[in-house]
Structure formats: C-alpha cells, structure tokens
Structure 1
C-alpha cells in the first residue's frame, strides 16, 4: 500500500508553521523577557513549545485521522507580556501548571464539548470568518506597500488555481520567495546553528499568581484559542471528540510548563490552512498536512533561536499576503455557512462584526465577545419571533 503523502501536505504544513512562527513568536519573546528570562531560558521556551506542538499535532492527527493542529496561546502570551512583569519565574511556572490543570479538567468533564454543541453552526462559522478576515485583508494592505511583489503573488495564485489547483499555494510560495529575494527584501543576519536544550524551573504555587496569572491565562486560552479552533474544525466538516483532545493539550501544558511550555491549545488560523482543499482534495488523507506541520514544528523546536532568526529574515510583504491567499477559500466557506440561513443571518453578522473589530474587555479578546454577542442577538430574535 502506497503512503498517501503529497507535496501539498508538506507545503501546507510548512506554510502553517511559517505563518504561526512569524506572526507571533515576537510575543513569546516579550512574555519570556517580562519574566526576566535569559537567552538560554528563552531557547528552552521555544524548545518546549515546539516539541509540545509537534507531539500533539502528530499524535492527535494520526490517532483521529483528522487534521488537528495545535499552537501556543498567542493571546495568552500577549497577556503574559504584561502580567509577568516583576513575577518570579518559579511562580510563573506554577501559574502555567495551574492553567494547564484547569484546561485538563475542562477536557475531562467535557464542559467545552457540551458548550460547543450549544453554538449554532452559522454563529461558529461567523466567528471563524471574523478571525480570518484580517489575514485576508493583509493581501491588499501589502499590495499598496509592495505592489510588484504582491501583484505577482496574486497573479501566480490565480493562474495556479486555474491550471494547478492542488499546487497553487506552493507555487505562490516559490515564486514570491524568489521575487522577494531578487528584490532584496530579505534581511541579512548571521545565523548560528545550535541545538536548543531544556532549562528546568522548579515551580512554586503562590495564591496571588494562581489567581492573577493562572486563571486569566486559562480563560484567554479557552475563549480566544480553543473556541475558534473548534469552529475551524466544525466549519471544515471535522467533528472529532473534543474532550480527549482538550485534555491532551492540558496535560501537555502541565508536563512542559517547567521548561517554558506556558499553554497549548487548538489552532485556528494555521489549522485552516491544513484543512483547506488546497492541502488535499481528499478529506480522508488531509490529516497528513497537520502531521507535516508537526514535523516542521519538531525541526523548529530543535534549532529554536536559529529557526526564529531565519523566519524573521522573511519580509512581511511575503508572509502575510501568502497567509491571506491560503485562507481565502476557508473565509469564503465560513461566510457562506454563516449567511446561508436567514433565521441566523443577523446574529451571524453581529458575531462577524464584533470579532473583526478586535475589541478587548477585561483582558478577553474579540472572538469570545463576538460569540457572546451573536448568541444574545439570536436569543432575543428567537424570543421576538
């Protein structure tokens, strides 16, 4: 029997990791620096985060034969960048473990699974569309800044979709990369190749840190990461059992927290790249795109700072429009599901608009508030009818 791995699996996995690292690794650096981490400890954070994502992506995707992509909590890292100032590292690690414990308990009890079943598909799809919209808009933002490069990428995408639909995004990556290099848009840096190593921090559990860091980190991770991640899977037509998956991310957080793995959760943006038809027209083997992403996570973990420096050399005018082009199909599908049923249309639009707005209340991001707003509107309209 031939192993069904395709070039599109590898390219989708690579693009997902590339987008994930380049778009948010700087926030992880800020969070680590806020806690007073030196370079060795920062490398340990990147190693723990990369290995945790690699293990969960590969293990969960193979086991459920579903493209399950995990990620570090980017909103969580943003919160930590301010919350960890003047907090001892051992207390921070204790808060990470406590947050992981809460995530594990939510998985074991099935609370998130039950909650997701109460959310109508149009509202979940509208939330996902709101998450994806800013990435797709980056195409036109950078078209104004680097017209020649982005216009070439768009033309390549259109020709690729017309002639080689399965290889459109890999083609855009190659053509855009060569063009950006020829235009001198890549930064030149000295790269020192070294394998990262773990640095262990003994956790201590301070009630103040558990309340002020652990609980907010749990709330942000569940509302701003896991809920959009679930919406991404459901919109793509995948419904694996959520309880064991969430439990796995919580246990992974508790195990790797002493080395810097502050929070693991379901991915949304990068997961959508691996769930697109461009990753594989066959839904049954599309999980291999997420497995490929796990392999690239593993490589990125081993070389930590080197890989991050390599990614940071890539111009944003290449990376962000590339992500937008890769997500156009998913955005279209999400909007179609969100607006298909007239009885949910107004609630879905409210969900979409609030999510796109980027509002933050009480440290909780717009994805959560978009979901809440949409559900409230739907309840009011149902009551009126």
Structure 2
C-alpha cells in the first residue's frame, strides 16, 4: 500500500523539460489507448440509444475526447500531479438503458448539461456534495448494479445470436484477463471488429473522415431531467469522481478536488452542446498514472497525466472512423463488448451493495427495480430504484 502524503506540489515547480520522462510518457499513452479502447463502444451505444444520429455520435465522441484530454493536460500541468480524466462509463451505461425519450436527443443533451452543471456546483458548494454522500452506499451501488445488469448479460445473449464471433471474443477476453488483464477489453474489441469485417465484407468508411462537430440545441424536459440528469449525476459522483479522488489520495496526492470538479463540470456543459456526455475523475486509469509504474519519482508522474490527455485528444480526431466501424458491427456484438468492459464494475457494485446485511433488502429492492426497466410518468427505472430503495431503508430502520 502506498504511503500517505507521498507527494505534494513543490513551491517552485520545475519545467516540463526538466521533469520529462519517457517512461511516464509511454504510460500516459497506454492509459489513453486502454481507456479509449475499453469503453468507446459504451459511448457509441449510449448516445445511439437516446436518439443521436451517426453525425451526432461522431460529434459527441470528438468533443468528449477533446474535453477530457484538455482537462487532463491542464489539471496535471497546473497541479504537477498525475490527474487522469475519463468519460463516465457507468453513466453512459445508464443512458443506454434509459433509451429514447420525448424530445429525442436534444432532451438527452439538456439532461447532460444539467448533470454537468450539478457536478460543477458540487465543486464549489460543499452541502451538495455532502447530500450526495448521505445516500446509503449500498443503495447507490445497487442502483449502479441494476443499470449495468442488462449490459453484463449481453456477452452471453450474443452467444445465441452470433455464436462463433461471440465465442471468439469471450475466449480472447478470458485468456487476456489471465495473462494481461489490462489489455483484455481492448484486444476483445479488436477481435470483434476483425471478425465482423471478415464476415460482412468490412464496414463502410464514412464520407467525411475529418473531425467535425454538430450543434445540438438542448431541450430541458422534466422527464429527461429526472430519468437521465439526476441518475447520471449520482452515478458519476458515486462511481467515478469519489473513487477517482480516493485513488489519488491513496498514492499520496492531494489535489484541489473542488477546482477540478468545477472544470470537468463546466467543460462537460459546454461540449454537451455538441452531443458530448459527461467527463469526470478517472478511477482505474488514475492508478496507472499515479502508481510507481509511471515513474519511480512521484514528482514526475504528472507527465503521464499530460500524455494521457494528449493521447485522448489524438484518438478523438479519428472519431468518424471509430463510429462508422462500431455502427457497422452487429448491435448485439457491440453490446457484448461493452458488457465485458463493465463486468468488473458490475461485480464491484454488487459486492458493495449486498455486503451490509442490514441494508441487503433495500439494496435488492433498488437493484431489481432499476434492472426491471420500470417507467412511470416517463421517468426511468434508475430514479424509481433509488426512491424505492430509500423507502425500504427508512421503513426497515425506523426508530
């Protein structure tokens, strides 16, 4: 376990040239490739599910890649700490299960903006963060597990629909998990795409491969705000920002979390106008940037955070090709790859939800309600799962 308070920013930071490390730079580029390749299918699926067109998905993917890259470079450079930024993978899984709503994609964009502004406000107004922290962790994790449940079924559903390809992807994922876990999902993605290209004659290349963005006029619909914005905010805070900050603390880094939360929130609100989802503190890739594998000297690991940001921005420039390949693959196969990427998150959320025996019944009620797809008054199941879980907890623990 890394020792606490391992590194604080020095009074007079050295220049980038003095701190440059090829080891840290390579780790940063690996972080970008792993972070992008392991979850880009979830981004495409999430945006498509709420009604985005191909051009809007491309625009959103470009902007979210640029946003998290720029914020990572800025945060790592100004703090001299390895700050890793990611898109909200669990949040996008939630968006995908919500599906299209009245108002279409513009309503989803309105919800993205509200969730992003709530994150920005959390960075400067502590009572809001404290209110989020008061939601019982078993219930919050049960909601996340319920959101991820259908995704995690997809790899096994795919075995019945595209058996040979799905089996190949599953076997490769299992073998890579055994020998090089970090690369299991990216390699599975490559296998899925190659298999699809061989069986379908290849995906059609987009007519426009150069980066381009498309403005989406937001619509602020009440049902979308309740079904998407509120759960998206809670999931992003509970499963991304709080764990991401904790990982940095584990390695001895003490960044101004409020300042970075405000930056990610404002950047997300701005890029949402081009269809981009929310960005946040990374958790898994944060450990890659902040750990000793990035560099033996903690004071020089921020180079990894900067180069990860550069890598994300570079990958974002090829979004048109990425989206065309993804959308040219069988939808069930893309869901299967996304499900494999979320297995770890699902297992962790399930364990955290059911570990406390006194909260097990409320957590199960939350999980099952969320996974059921229940919709009342146009409001999605994640919200109702949270409401029912809290109601169970209040009744069962009433004194």
2 CA distance for matches of 1:344 and 1:331?
18
Q: Alpha-carbon deviations, 1:168-198, whole Å to 9, x = none?
A: 334433444443333x146531433542346
Secondary structure class of the residue paired with 1:361: coil
Is structure 2 residue 158 aligned with structure 1 residue 142?
yes
Secondary structure class of the residue paired with 2:376: coil
Aligned to 1:359: 374
Aligned to 1:338: 353
Is structure 2 residue 34 aligned with structure 1 residue 12?
yes
Is structure 2 residue 345 aligned with structure 1 residue 368?
no
Is structure 2 residue 182 aligned with structure 1 residue 132?
no
Aligned to 2:397: 382
Is structure 2 residue 102 aligned with structure 1 residue 82?
yes
1 CA distance for matches of 2:392 and 2:372?
17
2:238 to 231, 237, 261: 231
**1:232 offset after TM fit, Å?**
1.6
1 CA distance for matches of 2:393 and 2:292?
32
The residue correspondences of 1:202-221 to structure 2 (distance < 5 A) are 213=220, 219-221=226-228
**1:315 offset after TM fit, Å?**
3.3
Structure 1 unaligned regions, length at least 5 = 34-38, 204-208
2 CA distance for matches of 1:337 and 1:165?
22
Q: Alpha-carbon deviations, 1:265-303, whole Å to 9, x = none?
A: 3579xx68757x9x7995996999998885565346435
Aligned to 1:322: 337
Distance 1:127 1:234, change over 3 A: farther
2 CA distance for matches of 1:7 and 1:96?
28
2 CA distance for matches of 1:221 and 1:245?
23
RMSD: 4.6
Aligned to 2:86: 69
**1:369 offset after TM fit, Å?**
2.1
Secondary structure class of the residue paired with 2:278: strand
Distance 1:291 1:337, change over 3 A: farther
Q: Is the 8 A contact 2:82 2:302 kept in 1?
A: yes
2 CA distance for matches of 1:365 and 1:288?
42
2 CA distance for matches of 1:366 and 1:290?
36
2 CA distance for matches of 1:94 and 1:134?
25
Q: Is the 8 A contact 1:47 1:196 kept in 2?
A: yes
**1:133 offset after TM fit, Å?**
1.4
Distance 1:192 1:31, change over 3 A: closer
2 CA distance for matches of 1:337 and 1:346?
13
1:180 to 177, 193, 196: 196
Distance 1:124 1:134, change over 3 A: same
- Count of residues paired in the alignment: 358
Is structure 2 residue 30 aligned with structure 1 residue 23?
no
Secondary structure class of the residue paired with 1:69: strand
TM-score, with structure 2 as normaliser: 0.69
Q: Is the 8 A contact 1:187 1:315 kept in 2?
A: no
Is structure 2 residue 183 aligned with structure 1 residue 167?
yes
2 CA distance for matches of 1:96 and 1:325?
25
Q: Is the 8 A contact 2:139 2:389 kept in 1?
A: yes
Structure 2 unaligned regions, length at least 5 = 1-20, 249-255, 295-300
1 CA distance for matches of 2:109 and 2:345?
36
1:117 to 129, 133, 158: 133
**1:351 offset after TM fit, Å?**
1.3
Distance 1:16 1:217, change over 3 A: farther
Distance 1:283 1:229, change over 3 A: farther
Q: Is the 8 A contact 1:96 1:254 kept in 2?
A: yes
**1:5 offset after TM fit, Å?**
0.6
Greater displacement, 299-308 / 331-340: 299-308
